[in-house]
Structure formats: structure tokens, C-alpha cells
Structure 1
Amino acid sequence: MFASRRSGTYDRLEGGMGPGRSTGFRLTAWKKLAVGAVVIIGLVYAFGPRKESMFPSTIPSVLDSDVPDVDSSVPYVPAPAPVPVHNDDKISTPKTAPTGPENDPDLSKTVHCTAPYKSSLPLVQYALMIDAGSTGSRIHIYKFNNCGPSPMYEYEVFRMTQPGLSSYAGRPRDAAQSLDVLLDEAVKVVPEALRACTPVAVKATAGLRLLGAAESTAILDAVRLRLHEKYPFNLQDADGVVIMDGKDEGVYAWITANYLMNTIRSDTPANTPTYAVLDLGGASTQIVFEPIFSKPDSSMEDGEHKYDITFGGKQRILYQHSYLGYGLMRARQSVHRLVEFMGSMRSSGSGANATVVNPCLARGTSKVVDVEDTRTSDKFSVNMVGQDVGSFENCNRIVELVMAKDAICELKPCSFNGVYQPSLLETFPSGKVLLLSYFYDRLQPFIAATPSLASEPLHVSTFATLAEQVCQGKPSWTGYWGSNAALMEELEGRPEWCLDLTFMHALLRLGYELGGDREVQIGKQIEGTELGWCLGATLAMVGGELRCRV
């Protein structure tokens, strides 16, 4: 189905992505910048003059529910309603939507054919992919049919539970049991006769990577044991329960999105442009795109960022990188840590139980946050307050230090934190950009609340426009959302909305150097199918030799 000349983890398939190192978040990068920049210009620069808001006129609306933060605990969340990719006139969601088990006439059959393409294969097969992320675990129960030479995807069932496996440090058995609610759902969906031939995989992402080798290994071993002992599915021993390399996460998300958008299938018209996929999780963020080098002497530099893949009968060269430590929740921690450090440099408040002015909290708001001492690794609580300095401009200056844009670039050009990346302006100047995960979760409530955002194209500058208004605090919110009690409650209960939107804008504008007027789209589902890496990874899993549990 797809192949790489550097086969690795997925060699047994028709081609694998291959393991490799992830570039971690380097604390010293921002700290060196902070020492140099904060002492000289911190007081003036970080709390400088403020601009007038660019936000449009009064906004009536109703707020959609949001994804809880990493420290939230929700026992069970049902599958959300299908949400198409926002704002796309040329490529729409599939004409025939996946059905789902509730209106599937026979879970063991398909409406597409009456006999499999190969007599050795079942007419339909299922595959289970558990995404063990930093904020929660999610199961994707996929149904495929074997009417053609390769499995054809029909639909998925999606469920999630919180918190994630990384929240069970020191309690590996509890971590394994937390997946029962997801696997029990799979038992209900997959017909009994097909369960032994249904592959299951649990792939942990950045949250578990950050937990440490000993703790993460204990949790993965407990999950593997519980799957063997309690559930009838076929666990792939080599790759069944693993911490997934960040590069696999990004490339599989790219495959999922472009597969569902019908830009990379075998029946896709020639020269159909592909989407760049930018995924923002809790602990890491990924970027994957297909650069086009127009100059005869230009090409992508060799390295782990380069992927040669074949999908849908066409060879493609992708750029990918996963930034561990630049997910939204980790970015919050980095900002809070830097603000506390700046307070200690100015002697204006630092240390346990101190009150620290934080320009990345909305004005008039406060939040007690845990900060880690970088020298001793001790954690202590600090009361962060927005006071009258909270603003998009002031927060953006803090975020710029965290982004480490001025880090040494050994192989040019670089995006941020010293990471090589072909220029999006030069090699992807007009391609479509799809934003996933927290990008969607933070922007969608404002789209639901703002008729102009819902009816017009979104741009990178949209994040800045929203951040400007949100960071100004409650008096400003009242002028725009005062009649919407749900939205007001949401903004009051989450002071870090200002930080989140500012960081997302900085990631796109400063980090990846996308123009403020660059059009973007956000997505969560395409007619019931979750966007993300899971379908791409599952397409690889079902593309190999079918094995059944004895």
C-alpha cells in the first residue's frame, strides 16, 4: 500500500516508515535566550505598548463543548457528531458517507460485494487501533472489506476515555485496566467469528515518551498482558503495544487526511495537490507536507526528515518533523516556567507560593500552576495573575523566546529550535494547509460563535485576531459575548485561552513562517472518521498478511 526505502518498524508490510530519533525540546535554548534577552529588554519589551483590537463587531452564539485539559478526568466520552473539514469549496467530504454499525445491515458482510477478491480472505475484516495520547486514550474500530486487491475502508467507531496512560505512573495495572472501556466496545462491534482475525495495536505517543523508560515500559508490559489474557483479538507481538516514533505519527496523519480527501488514492486524478498536515497534540506537534522544488538544482536535503513513500501507485517525497515538547500542554508549562524565571531575574516574585505577573493570562484572571525548578527538578505552586499586562502582544513576546527561533541552524533553512525545513513559502506556496487536534479544539468554539468566521475562509491571522480579544479579559468579553453565558463561563474558567491562541499563532507565523494571510482549514472528522494518524497506521496494518489468533 505504501513503501519506504528505509524500512523499519513496519518492514513486514508493503513498506514501513522506520524508527528514528525524535528531536526533544531543549530547555537550554530558551533559557540562554531568556538570560540574554530578559535582562536587557525584558521589562520594557515584555510589557510594552498595546495595539487596538482588530476583532470584528458583536458576536452572538452558542459554544460547542471543548476537549478538557490534560489534568481533566472524564470517565467516558461518546463519539462526537461528524464534522467536515471547515471551509473547503473544491474538495468536499465523500459523497457516500460511512454508515456505522447502528445502520449496518450485517456486521459480517458488506454492501459492496458478495465474495472476497481472494478466497483466502474474509469478506470483511476489522482492525483496532488504540491511540494512547497524552490527554486520553482513544479506540478506532475500523471496518474494511476485501472486495478488491487491497482492503477498502468503510467506516469507523470511535470512543475515548480519560486520563491517558501517562497519568498512571507507578500504577501499570491501573493503566492497562483503563483501556477496558474501549476494548469492551470493540467486543460489542466486531462479530464473534471475526475477533480472532482482528488485529489490535496500542500505540502510545508523546505523553508516554516523556514519562521515562522504566515507567513507560512497565505500563506497556501491563497493557500487553491484559490484551493477551482478557481479549480475543490478534495482538501483533512485535508492534502491537509500542511507543510510536513521532515521525510515524506525522506521516500517518498525512496519509489519513489525504486518503479521506481523495488526493492520494489510486483513482485520484493526476496532479491533484495534496494537503500539508499540521497536528498539535498535548506534548508534541508534527508537520508533514509534500514540497515542490521548482529550481533544477534544488532538492530536499537527506536526513530523517525525508520520506520516500509510494501510495496509490505514485511515489512521493515528504518532509516531516515531530517537535517533542511543543505540544500545547507542554508549551503552557514552558511559558509558565519562563515567566517564573523572568520574575526571579527581576526580583518581582518567584518561588513556591509566589504571585507572578503573567502576560499570557487574560487580564483580570489568575491560575495556580505547578512550575518545575530546572536545577533541582522540584515542583512548586505559583499563583499566576494576568493583572493589567495580559495581552496578545505581551504574551507573544514571551512565546517568541520559547519558540527558540534564533537557535543555531546547522542545516539551512530552519523553521524553529534549529530544525531543518524546506521553506513553505518557496516549496509549498499555495498548497492547502490542514490543522488538526488542538488547533481545531481551540478554534472551533469561536467559529460556532462567529457567523463571519463560519462563512469566510480562515487565515493564520485568525488566531491573532481572536487572541487579541481574549487576552484583554472579561470587560472585553462582555462586549462581544456577554449574552452567551456558556461562552463567558468557558473563558472565565480557562485563563490560558490567551496563551493557547497566542502560541498557535506563533507556531504557524513565526515557527513555520506562514504568512498571516495564508488560508488554513481545520478538521476533526470527515463524515464520522477521525482525522489523525490512526487510519494511516491501520491501513498499513491491514495491508500485510492477515493473521488470526490461535
Structure 2
Amino acid sequence: MFSPRSSNYERLENGMGPSRMNGIRRFGWKKFAIGAVVVIGLVWVFGPRKEDIIPEKYIPSFPKSPFGGSDLEESAARPPPMPTHPTIDPPHGDDDEIAPPAQPRPTSPATDPDMSKTVYCTRPYRPDQPIVQYALMIDAGSTGSRIHIYKFNNCGASPVYEYEVFKQTNPGLSSYAGRPLEAAQSLDVLLDEAVTVVPQALRSCTPVAVKATAGLRLLGQAESEEILDAVRHRLHEKYPFSLQNRDDVVIMDGKDEGVFAWITANYLLDTIRASTPANTPTYAVLDLGGASTQIVFEPIFASDRPDSTLAEGEHKYELVFGGRTHVLYQHSYLGYGLMRARKSVHRLIDFMSSLQPPLSDGTVANPCLAKGTSRTVEVEEERLNETRSVTMTGADVGSFEACNRVVQLVMAKDAVCEVKPCSFNGVYQPSLLDTFPNGKVLLLSYFYDRLQPLLPDSRSPPPITVSTLAGLAEELCQGPSAWEARWGGDAALMFELEDRPEWCLDMTFMHALLRLGYEFGDDRVVEIGKQIDGTELGWCLGATIAMVGAELTCKI
């Protein structure tokens, strides 16, 4: 499979060649066992705790916010907007390999005077290259598939990125278990878009890749391979683009997913390019998907401490980019994406309810659903490999405090930590407080989708801190009356809140991930983002940069 450790990166940005160390840790649900402990936990979870109420300073006071963000969950896909809170500074400039454009810099096909040429030069750096190069990357995620159609120019010694065209569709490939042909056909709407964007003369030499993420990892090897084989066959038979090798349609390793996202963000934010000043701080990148979540950052160790280096293991990446070496910490938590976290919380609450008398109406009280709301959920019976429908209600028990205690059990903060220090679920992670105390933190994907609609639309919005998430979770868990008081003037947002009672759960989980899991302080400032200069954040651009640096084979 293709990896960020590929030598292809050595052709770009003055060389790039990460390496990794040995040692691996797998996700496992090894909890929820002893009945007596759970009974005690019930009293602890659902019992009132006056001292747990959030201090008033943690509850944000924002004006109404227009609805924004794109949510690939269920059927609510919307076109992705530009990020509005906070504004991430665009790159300081283009790579110094090429001259400033003679015409205005195009940012989309609508502003591009000629899709087969570039405004940056009139001939390629090498005569055997086309002057522009397109590359297609399909992100086959757990909740949907997205295509990124990237345009590069060959004005300099290495390909230089110009802009992208983005399109998405629902559901994800993993929703077609047992129906591989339908799974492959679901990507037609994305590939048809690529046919309209890429000039005809360049299509046969345009590389395409499909990288599936956590959704297919969880589906199982046999079913996932059937789907990937069907996708390969359809690409080869129906579309003019070039599959370079079998590894262009593959399930991507979660470790690579996180590092690619880090490369994309820091490349676009101009912190790792060849032209970037030395010692420029890099961003930590936290990506929250449907089935998994990743964290990648560049720790800085004090030389006078006994733990002054990054422990060896799979979490360690030595990355050379722009002529500089970056030693990164990364980890991908399979099973801790937002949709999987929902399933785990519902399963735990269903199990806890079986140890006490049922409600008179047969429903299950769920403190992670907003007060006055209810939802029928599918609860997985792992031992029987079955699912059953359970109606859960927030009733009068829905609250941030009670939900947060359930989420804490799911996160397994007290798991055995073999190599210290640990974040959660027994995973080694150097302390962010010690090794990344002042660095900027960028939150992607579901972090953005859930937070952006709730935040104010203003030119100078207040900064987002970890405690902002706690305050929002408190209000979301209070139910419709609290929603009306805060966001009643936003009809689109109110529809979203009423349609998904799990907003209480989602915000509580995201807060717990930052505060309890990664141990950020309450006052730690974070940024959210979806696009920079019209380019989607995430792992795709980082993966594509290497693909266009390889020796390309054109389709005959």
C-alpha cells in the first residue's frame, strides 16, 4: 500500500522520507465486565452531583450563528463553506520555485482562464513533462465518499499545487456490505465530476487513487476486499484515468491518515515548505472521523528532563519535508470516531439499564440524549453478532454531567499504561502540557461540523477554548427550551438540533476527548477549519503530493 514513508516524497519539497519504529497497540473493548462495579457505576452516573455543575465562566455567551459546515452523517450533506471561526491565516505565498503569476491566481475552474495551462509559466521545468498535472484522490470514509480533484503545475523542479475541486456523496462504501458492485457504482457521481473537470488530453495521464479509511477497516477483510476489487474493476473499465498500481485502491493505515492530515494542514499554512523560515512552529492536527480519530503533533522536549526524547514505537515518525526533519508523534484511535463513540455509549447505557427495573413505557433512559428528546437506536450485540432496536429517551435525566461520566467509562482513561505517560485507553503519548504547551491546535472534520454551526458569525469572534465545548454541551443537553433561548432565530440549526438528539452526546464526547483524553487545559485555545484558500483540510492533499511526485504511467 502507499505510505507517507514512500520514497516518492523525496521528489517533492527538497526531499521527504519519513520512517517509523516498531511496536503496535490495537484498540480493544475490554471493559464493561463486572456487574457489581457497574451497579456502583449506575449510582455514580445517574446520581445528582451539585459540585459537578459547570462554573458560569465555562458557559459561552455567543450571539446567533448562521448554519454552516458539512455533515456527511445520515442524509444531511451540504456544500462545504469556508471556515468562519476562527479565521486561519492563508499561506504567506507560493513556493519560491516559481515566479508570481502574470495573471490573477486561479482558485477554481471558474477563475482559471485555461484548465490545460497555468498562469505561473509558459513552459514546464522539464521538456518531458506536461505544463500542468491533475491528480484524483477519493477519500472513502465511513460516512461518505469525497473526491478531491487537484491541479498542479510543473513550472519548477517539483510539482506545485494550485487548487482543488471537491465533491462528496453519501453513504460510504462500508454501507454496501455484501453488494460490491453497488459500492463501486456509488463512486460514479464523483468520477463523472472528474471527467468534466480534467481536460480530455490530460485524462489518460491523470493518476487516481481510492483510499478507504476506518469504515472499511471495521467491515472485515473478506467483504472489504470484495468492494475494493469491484472499485478497481470499474475504474479500469469505465473511466479514462490511470491506476498506477494495485495499491492505489486500498484501505489506508490509520497512522498514515493522521500524518497525511498533518502534512496537508501545515503545507497550506506555510509552516513546512522549503521557503518557510527555520524554527517556524507547526500546528498540532486533531482529526475526528466517523470511525476513528487521529492526533499528530511535533513535541518539543526539554533536554534537562529524564524523558527528554520521544519513546520508540509505531507512534514515532521522522519526517523530512522542505529540507527539514520533523519528529512527529501520531496515533490513530480506531473505534473512537464520533459515530463509533455513539454506538459504544448507547451499548453501555443499554447494558446498564438491564441491571435495573425498566421504565413503564419500555424505553431506556439515556443521559446523553437531550432532555425531552428520544431516539430509536441500533444496539450491537457483539457476542451474538446481532443488532436490535432500542428506544432511548432523554426524559429528565439528560445532562452534560451524567453523560460525561458515561463517556469517561467508554474512553477507558484508567486503562493500564505500559509506557508512560498515556492519553487514554492505555496509549502512550508525551504530555501536551510539557512538550506542546503553546503550540497552535487545529481541529478537523466532525470537530468543525459540530462546532461551527453553534458559533457566532462575526469578524472578531471570541476564541474557542476547551471550556467552550463544555459550555455548549451543557446547553445542548438541556433540550429544546435551552436551544430556543440561544439559537431560536436560526431555523436551519434548530431543525438540525431537533432532528438529532445526539448533539448532547457528540459535544460531550468531543470535550472529553480534548480535556480528559489528551489532557488539554480548560483555557487551551483551539482552532477549527475545513478549508484554507478553497482547499479541503484532511489527509488527501498530503497523500496526493507524493502521488504526483512518482513516475506516472499513462493509461493506454
Q: Same fold (TM over 0.5)?
A: yes
Q: What amino acid is the match of 1:86?
A: P
Q: Structure 2 CA distance, aligned partners of 1:507 and 1:291?
A: 19
Distance 1:17 1:178 in 2: 35
Which structure 2 residues correspond to residues 109-148 of structure 1 after superposition, within 5 A?
109-148=117-156
Residues 296-331 of structure 1: per-residue CA shift (max 9 Å, x gap): 451011111100110011011000000000000000
Paired residues for 1:317-328 under 5 Å: 317-328=327-338
Structure 1 stretches of 5 or more lacking a match?
none
1:174 partner letter: E
- CA displacement at 1:294 relative to structure 2: 1.1
Distance (whole Å) between structure 2 residues aligned to residue 433 and residue 36 of structure 1? 40
Q: Are positions 1:471 and 2:481 aligned together?
A: no
Decide which of 210, 218, 221 is 2:229's aligned counterpart.
Answer: 221
> Corresponding residue for 1:435?
443
What residue is the counterpart of 1:205 in the other structure?
213
- In structure 2, do the counterparts of structure 1 residues 324 and 36 end up closer, same or farther at CA, with 3 Å as the change threshold? farther
Of the three residues 513, 533, 546, the one matched with 2:519 is 513
SS at match of 1:232: coil
Secondary structure, in 3 states, of the residue corresponding to 1:210? helix
Distance 1:49 1:8, change over 3 A: farther
Where does residue 97 of structure 2 map in the other structure? none
Aligned residues of 1:405 and 1:417 also touching (Cα < 8 A): yes
Q: Would the alpha carbon gap of residues 401 and 52 (structure 1) be closer, same or farther in structure 2, given more than 3 Å must change?
A: closer
1:88-107 per-residue CA deviation (whole Å, 9 max, x = no partner) reads: 5xx44556865211121111
**CA distance in 1 between partners of 2:85 and 2:547 (Å):** 26
Q: Judging changes above 3 Å, is the alpha-carbon distance between structure 1 residues 122 and 57 closer, same or farther for their aligned structure 2 residues?
A: closer
Aligned residue in 2 for 1:262: 270
Q: Quick one: distance in 1 between partners of 2:24 and 2:238?
A: 33
Matched, 1:247 2:255: yes
Q: Which residue of 2 aligns with 1:548?
A: 554
Correspondence 1:526 to 2:527 = no
Cα pair 2:72 2:170 within 8 Å, conserved: no
Q: Contact 1:94 / 1:527 at 8 angstroms: preserved in 2?
A: no
How far has the Cα of 1:61 moved from its partner? Answer: 4.0
Deviation at 1:346, TM superposition (A): 2.4
The offset of 1:27, in angstroms, is 1.6
Look up the match of 2:30.
28
Q: Is 1:333–2:343 an aligned residue pair?
A: yes
Once the two structures are superposed, the pairs formed by residues 357-372 of structure 1 within 5 Å of their partners are 357-372=365-380
- Equivalent of 1:498 in 490, 504, 512: 504
RMSD: 2.6
CA contact 1:204–1:244 (8 Å) conserved in 2: yes
Give the letter for the 1:231 counterpart.
Y
Q: How does 1:412-451 map to 2 (within 5 A)?
A: 412-448=420-456
Unmatched tracts of structure 2, length 5 or more: 95-104
Decide whether aligned partners of structure 1 residues 11 and 153 sit closer, same or farther in structure 2, where only a CA change above 3 A counts: closer
What do residues 461-493 of structure 1 show as CA deviations (whole Å, max 9, x unaligned)? 111010001101112222222333333222111
Q: Which moved more, 1:485-494 or 1:275-284?
A: 485-494
Report if the CA contact (8 A) 2:64-2:456 is conserved: no
- Name the CA shift for 1:188/1:515 in 2 (closer, same or farther; >3 Å): same
**Pairs aligned (count):** 536
Tell me the amino acid that sits aligned with residue 543 of structure 1. Answer: G
Equivalent residue number for residue 391 of structure 1: 399
CA-CA distance at 1:60 after TM superposition: 3.3
Counterpart of 1:304 in structure 2 is 314
Using the alignment, how far apart are the partners of 1:519 and 1:36 within structure 2?
40
What's the counterpart of residue 101 of structure 2?
none
Contact 2:23 2:313 in 1 (8 A): no
Distance 1:483 1:378, change over 3 A: same
- The answer to whether the aligner puts 1:72 opposite 2:75 as a matched pair is yes
Q: Secondary structure at the match of 2:423?
A: coil
Range with greater deviation from structure 2 (471-480 or 305-314): 471-480
What is the aligned-residue identity percentage? 65
The one-letter amino acid of 1:319's match is: Y
Q: Distance in 2 between matches of 1:43 and 1:222?
A: 51
* Partner AA of 1:494 in structure 2: R
**Counterpart in the other structure of 1:233:** 241
**Cα pair 1:203 1:240 within 8 Å, conserved:** yes
Cα distance, 1:247 vs structure 2: 0.4
Look up the SS of the partner of 1:455 in the other structure: coil
The structure-2 alpha-carbon separation of the partners of 1:336 and 1:222, relative to structure 1 and needing over 3 Å to count, comes to same
Change in CA separation of 1:18 and 1:317 when aligned onto 2, cut-off 3 Å: closer
Which residue identity lines up with residue 470 of structure 1 in the other structure? L
Question: Are 1:23 and 1:324, in contact at CA under 8 Å, matched by a contact in 2?
Answer: no
Q: Which moved more, 1:201-210 or 1:472-481?
A: 472-481
- Superposition pairs of residues 71-110 of structure 1, within 5 angstroms: 71-72=74-75, 78=79, 80-83=80-83, 86-88=86-88, 91-93=89-91, 98-110=106-118
Asked if structure 2 preserves the Cα contact closer than 8 Å seen for 1:53 and 1:469, the reply is no
- Taking a change above 3 Å as real, the CA distance of residues 164 and 251 of structure 1, as seen in their structure-2 partners, is same
> How far 1:35 moved relative to its partner?
4.2
Secondary structure at 1:264's aligned position in 2? coil
SS in structure 2 opposite 1:239?
helix
Shift of 1:21: 8.8
Normalization by structure 2: what TM-score? Answer: 0.91
Q: Hey, what's the Cα distance between the residues in 2 that align with 1:504 and 1:442?
A: 9
CA spacing shift, 1:56–1:15, aligned 2, 3 Å: closer
